[in-house]
Copies of this chain bind each other. A is one copy, B any other.
Amino acid sequence: MSQTFNVAVEVSLREGIADPEGLTIERALPALGFSGVSGVRVGKSLRFVVEAPDEDEARQQVESMCERFLANPVIEDVEIAISGAS
């Protein structure tokens, strides 16, 4: 029988890849009164529900989705969190 899993994926730029959006935020913050913020990196977060027979199967499906479609493996890293069937 197939179960449903809640999935959270965080897609972030790999270290060393320029992040102009993050830089812009970092430069704007002091003018707004927020000092002491550094290393701002902006990524994408995706949340969805996957149907699969078990958690391993769900994770495999999500990994393959990320590789082929949701992220660019050349410049992006992916972090996958799968939480229990509901």
Which residues does A use to contact B, with CB under 8 Å? 2, 10-12, 22, 25-26, 28-29, 32, 34-52, 61, 64-65, 68-70
Contacts and interface: CB of A to CB of B under 8 A. Distances in A.
A28 to B, nearest CB: 7
Contacts of A36: 2, 50-52, 61
A37 B48 contact: yes
B50 A46 contact: no
A22 B7 CA distance: 14
A6 B57 CA distance: 32
Nearest to A10: B45
B29 A69 contact: yes
Contacts of A29: 65, 69
